[in-house]
Structure 1
Amino acid sequence: MRTIDYFDKMAKLHPNRDVLISGDTCYTYREMEALTHKVAGALRASGMKNQEPIAIMSPNDGPVLSAMLGCWRAGAIWVPVNTRNALDANIAYLKYVRVSMILYHSSYAKQAAEIKEQVPTVRKMVCLDAPMNGDPSLEDFMATAPSDIFPDLGDPIGNPEELTALIATGGTTGPAKGVRVMNRSWGTMLETICNIMPVEGKPVSLATAPLTHAAGPVTMAALAMGATVVVLPTFDAEAVMKAIQEHNVTHMFLPPTALYSMLEHPKVRDYDYSSLKYFLLAGSPCSGEKLKQAVDIFGPCMCQSYGQTEFHLVATWLSPEVVAAAARGDYPERLTSCGEATYSVRVELMDDDGNILPTGEVGEIVGRGGIVGGGYFELPEASAEAVAYGWHHTGDVGKRDEHGFYYIVDRKKDMIVSGGFNVFSAEVEECVMELAEVAECAIIGVPHDKWGEQVTAMVVKAKGADVDAEKIIAHVKARIGSVKAPKEVHFIDAIPRTAVGKMDKKKLREPFWGGSGRAVN
């Protein structure tokens, strides 16, 4: 089904239940449903065609939810804008997917104006929270809808091959690729989440991670189960802890780095977390010791899932029951597992020749099933490569034990996960190499207590050159954003090479990762 179909089911079942609490803003399912009809009507009245890409650029804020649902009701393709990226990178991506409209928050008005100027396909701008620079507010825009009821665009099988979203994901080289998220794969993901995270009574989901990242699909799954969604504008450890107690939160998603901040907070034991049934960690591996500590503090609610943009979020599942048992000493190694394959997919390990490997051997994690997306937007070669040998290739290297639990041990693709965000080293290396003072550069991830992995540059200076770490870091921040910028720079005499002349990053990582048993954190 379409996302809006899942929402409409719950609006019919629970019309008077709160669907959104965001600061002073509160809407019921019935009220939100009415807003989405007006957003959809206004979009179509403005000239939007079916399956046009519409970008939403905003911090977590109440209008974001009505805008997203309204876009889906109108048959639009959601394009989330990661505001942590450098503006140039976002402009390049929006040009590539030929976005036609931008719905933005006033805090990003300057960036939105630059996008409008540089992306030729943009024909309409709407400011979500207030009139801005000649652009209407969302409220004013909704007033242009010709009717309070928008016609149903669904078909008998839920428009399975239409796109829900075009979500950017980096490549090992070159610019970001647009993952074609289909109604069929997104719907399978929503249903899988609803089935593995059930609760009796009224679910309450806390959204504090960016809705433009993994919190977006988790929030849509919460709506599909009839939840009240409590939105916080940004992550603040104590604000999250207070919200859990105040709103009796049952479901919450955060990346492990945010969990670590909560564990370190001096007031972490001062709040009541007994309502929590699922504290989901995803986006990067979690420290086993930190996970055990979290069970002690937050109770038997800690859980993890593994997936990626192309293989939506819940390829594997480590349940609260398994985590709690592991914390007590029952198969304690499972604290570092990403879980078992969910019932909507097959997950296997594969060697470089396309052979499925037996239990105990290490290989690339591959999968097939309902949560696999539709390849990359207008990139047929990359799409074909991702499904070689009849399986979706994750680029992650792992192993499986005799009980069916998977463990990620490395990354086949040259990628670093820092704070739940993917950083592709080739892009950072290319940026550093723009400096004339740099002869060679290798970017690696090294373990970090807060971020999981820290982007680190190994640099060989050009002969006679004088360059310091501050200059390199500042250059990368300005070019491609602070998330991708190295946090440390190590100057070395030469970069080690493999027998075929490639950078030997395994050797570079060894001093940092030695003895840990895995090369991710």
Structure 2
Amino acid sequence: MRSIDYFDRGHDRAPGRAALIDAATGERFTFAEVKARTERIAVAMHAAGFSSQQPAALYGPNSAAIMIALLAIWRANGQWVPVNTRNAIDANAAYLNYVRCGWLFYHSSMAADVALLRARVPSLTQCICLDRAMDGDASLDDLVAGAPDADLPDFSDPFGAPHDVVGLFPTGGTTGPSKGVVVTNLGWGTMLETLGAAVDGRTDAPVSLVVAPITHAAGPVALGTLALGATQVILPGFDAPAVLRAIAEHRVTHMYLPPTALYGLLEAAEQALPDVSSLRVFILVGSPVSPEKLRRAVEVFGPCMCQAYGQVESPMITTWLPPETVSAAAAGDHPERLASCGRPTRSVQVAIMDDDGRLLPDGQRGEIVVRGVLVSKEYFELPAATAEARQFGWHHTGDVAYRDADGYYYIVDRKKDMVVTGGFNVFTAEVEAAITELAAVRECAVIGIPHDKWGEQVHAIVVAEGIDEQAVIAHARVRLGGVKAPKSVSFVDAIPRTAAGKMDKNALRAGYWRDGARMVN
């Protein structure tokens, strides 16, 4: 099925049920209202020159309007281009240029950023402001008002248009722009069906809390529960006390957050814990979770905690650790499973592979590799990168793990030179390239080190003279944005090298990770 067909599945369950509740504005939209609104927007887009399978982006804080615009892009058979508003403008412009994005829906609070993007991205021919007319750009209401009274073409086929593209999802960049992961209806539908099988049937009145950025990852997760008929309560951003209050006020049953946000909730719960007994599914995705904090989360939030593992190229639910397993582990039944990311889901094969392409037995460490319809089609216009990621007939994740005798996977390290901080991927080569632009810096190595709130933080180890930590951080923040810039810097006389002359990052990281058994957080 097409992506929008999953929303329509939820609509058909109960058209009059609330689909979206915007906690900031108080707006409420039923499934029927959202369907009608997205149909009108999609018709208006095509009347204004939008083409089927054209890339379109969203830019703004969480809101019902952003969610409606995302659904409208899919209804118009567009390719969604996620844009992280926390990235530097240059990084976002580079990605929009790479995928030749033509349409951008934005909130007026982001107008200054959009002006910079428009100047840097010649392919942006249509910029629509969601909430009001802005600097010559039509508002969404203006766009819809000018649309003809017409029906949309049927963009599907007897097979559900499996090869049409749902989105061009960015990975973290290395020394250049991010690679675009081409996600088709086939892979996307597989993810949604797999997620639905994992979380459905736990309540007759599902309510899902949307806290993480819709423009990044929360949009896809919201669609997964919309397909089940779940009401989406949308918060503008993460604030731990506000999240706890929203759970109690709206009787939230389903939610998704990265582990770093969970840690903030646990801290806030020590001060005040409203009634969270409605929770049935609390999914952790984005990075490994601290086993001790996961045990504590079961105590605070009840038997709802679960974890999924995936990446853009094999999205979200490659492996699954269900609430029942987490709760049993927290109670002492196989407590080691609190450190696991679960077992493979029904639509993928998962294995452990060494550098020579040999599949490894239980207990041996190697790279997690995946195959199946969940795996994305390719990297956009990057055949060499696609071939590299698909060596030996499997998709390579870059994560190092082992499998136990019961089929549970345990991530212990990353093969890719990458830091996952607050659920965001940061490739260290990009940060190193920015820092070494400074004339005072002779050499730089960037690693991830443990952080109680973010899981990992970006740390730079620098060989330099005549420059201090704040100057290095400030330069990187301007070049890369707040997420990718290092949060700390240490200065050394020389960076250790391997026998091959490469920077020995394992040696650098070993000083920061407690026992070396698991160098991810």
TM-score range normalised by the length of the shorter chain = over 0.9
Which of 326, 332, 344 is the equivalent residue of 2:347? 344
Displacement after TM superposition at 1:115 (Å): 1.4
Which of 231, 245, 251 is the equivalent residue of 1:228? 231
Match of 2:287 in 1: 284
AA aligned to 1:357 is L
Structure 1 spans left out of the alignment, 5+ residues: none
Q: Distance in 2 between matches of 1:10 and 1:149?
A: 21
Match of 1:150 in 2: 152
Q: Distance in 2 between matches of 1:338 and 1:30?
A: 37
Match of 1:454 in 2: 457
Q: Deviations over 1:465-519 (max 9, x none)?
A: 3110000000000001111111111101110111111110000011111315211
Match of 2:329 in 1: 326
Please show how residues 253-292 of structure 1 align to structure 2 within 5 Å: 253-265=256-268, 270-292=273-295
Which of 380, 390, 412 is the equivalent residue of 2:383? 380
Match of 1:500 in 2: 500
Displacement after TM superposition at 1:455 (Å): 0.6
Match of 1:112 in 2: 114
**Contact (CA 8 Å) 1:238, 1:267: kept in 2 or not?**
no
Q: Distance in 1 between matches of 2:313 and 2:31?
A: 30
**Contact (CA 8 Å) 2:419, 2:427: kept in 1 or not?**
yes
Match of 1:488 in 2: 488
**Contact (CA 8 Å) 1:375, 1:386: kept in 2 or not?**
no
Range with bigger deviation, 199-208 or 80-89: 199-208
Paired residue secondary structure (2:496):
coil
- Over 3 Å counting, the alpha-carbon distance change for 1:510 and 1:267 in structure 2 is closer
Displacement after TM superposition at 1:269 (Å): 5.0
Displacement after TM superposition at 1:143 (Å): 1.4
Paired residue secondary structure (1:275):
coil
Q: Distance in 2 between matches of 1:386 and 1:183?
A: 21
Match of 2:306 in 1: 303
**Contact (CA 8 Å) 1:307, 1:316: kept in 2 or not?**
yes
Paired residue secondary structure (1:304):
strand
- Over 3 Å counting, the alpha-carbon distance change for 1:35 and 1:237 in structure 2 is same
Q: Which runs of 4+ in 1 moved over 3 A?
A: 266-269
Q: Distance in 2 between matches of 1:150 and 1:19?
A: 22
Which of 220, 226, 243 is the equivalent residue of 1:240? 243
**Contact (CA 8 Å) 2:9, 2:228: kept in 1 or not?**
no
**Contact (CA 8 Å) 1:19, 1:32: kept in 2 or not?**
yes
Which of 191, 209, 212 is the equivalent residue of 1:209? 212
**Contact (CA 8 Å) 1:262, 1:268: kept in 2 or not?**
no
Q: Distance in 2 between matches of 1:452 and 1:149?
A: 48
Q: Distance in 2 between matches of 1:31 and 1:193?
A: 25
Q: Distance in 1 between matches of 2:258 and 2:63?
A: 19
Please show how residues 47-58 of structure 1 align to structure 2 within 5 Å: 47-58=49-60
Paired residue secondary structure (2:379):
coil
AA aligned to 2:166 is T
The answer as to 2:388 corresponding to 1:414 is no
Q: Distance in 2 between matches of 1:13 and 1:510?
A: 53
**Contact (CA 8 Å) 1:238, 1:268: kept in 2 or not?**
no
Q: Distance in 2 between matches of 1:259 and 1:148?
A: 46
**Contact (CA 8 Å) 2:175, 2:433: kept in 1 or not?**
no
Q: Distance in 2 between matches of 1:321 and 1:445?
A: 32
Match of 1:38 in 2: 40
- Over 3 Å counting, the alpha-carbon distance change for 1:479 and 1:424 in structure 2 is same
Q: Deviations over 1:164-199 (max 9, x none)?
A: 001111244422111101111011000100000112
Which of 82, 101, 104 is the equivalent residue of 1:102? 104
AA aligned to 1:474 is A
Match of 1:162 in 2: 164
Match of 1:67 in 2: 69
- Over 3 Å counting, the alpha-carbon distance change for 1:266 and 1:15 in structure 2 is closer
Q: Distance in 2 between matches of 1:405 and 1:9?
A: 33
Paired residue secondary structure (1:407):
strand
Range with bigger deviation, 406-415 or 166-175: 166-175
TM-score normalised over the length of structure 1: 0.98
The answer as to 2:253 corresponding to 1:250 is yes
Q: Deviations over 1:63-119 (max 9, x none)?
A: 111111111111110111100100000001100000011111111101111211221
Which of 29, 32, 35 is the equivalent residue of 2:31? 29
Q: Distance in 2 between matches of 1:78 and 1:364?
A: 30
**Contact (CA 8 Å) 2:304, 2:323: kept in 1 or not?**
yes
**Contact (CA 8 Å) 2:173, 2:426: kept in 1 or not?**
no
AA aligned to 2:232 is V
The answer as to 2:185 corresponding to 1:183 is yes
Paired residue secondary structure (1:213):
helix
**Contact (CA 8 Å) 1:51, 1:163: kept in 2 or not?**
yes
Paired residue secondary structure (1:91):
helix
**Contact (CA 8 Å) 1:241, 1:268: kept in 2 or not?**
no
Q: Distance in 1 between matches of 2:217 and 2:121?
A: 26
Paired residue secondary structure (2:101):
coil
Please show how residues 124-143 of structure 1 align to structure 2 within 5 Å: 124-143=126-145
Q: Distance in 1 between matches of 2:385 and 2:289?
A: 30
Please show how residues 10-25 of structure 1 align to structure 2 within 5 Å: 10-23=10-23, 24-25=26-27
Q: Deviations over 1:151-174 (max 9, x none)?
A: 332111111111100111124442
AA aligned to 2:494 is A
Displacement after TM superposition at 1:268 (Å): 5.5
Range with bigger deviation, 304-313 or 63-72: 63-72
Paired residue secondary structure (1:431):
helix
AA aligned to 2:181 is V
**Contact (CA 8 Å) 1:269, 1:297: kept in 2 or not?**
no
Paired residue secondary structure (1:218):
helix
Displacement after TM superposition at 1:148 (Å): 5.8
Q: Distance in 1 between matches of 2:269 and 2:358?
A: 50
Q: Distance in 2 between matches of 1:360 and 1:291?
A: 23
Displacement after TM superposition at 1:144 (Å): 2.0
- Over 3 Å counting, the alpha-carbon distance change for 1:25 and 1:267 in structure 2 is farther
**Contact (CA 8 Å) 1:337, 1:406: kept in 2 or not?**
yes
**Contact (CA 8 Å) 2:54, 2:101: kept in 1 or not?**
yes
**Contact (CA 8 Å) 1:214, 1:283: kept in 2 or not?**
no
**Contact (CA 8 Å) 2:67, 2:219: kept in 1 or not?**
no
Match of 2:195 in 1: 193
How many residues are matched?
518
Displacement after TM superposition at 1:258 (Å): 0.6
Paired residue secondary structure (1:164):
strand
**Contact (CA 8 Å) 2:435, 2:475: kept in 1 or not?**
yes
Q: Distance in 2 between matches of 1:501 and 1:171?
A: 24
- Over 3 Å counting, the alpha-carbon distance change for 1:366 and 1:431 in structure 2 is same
Q: Distance in 1 between matches of 2:180 and 2:269?
A: 41
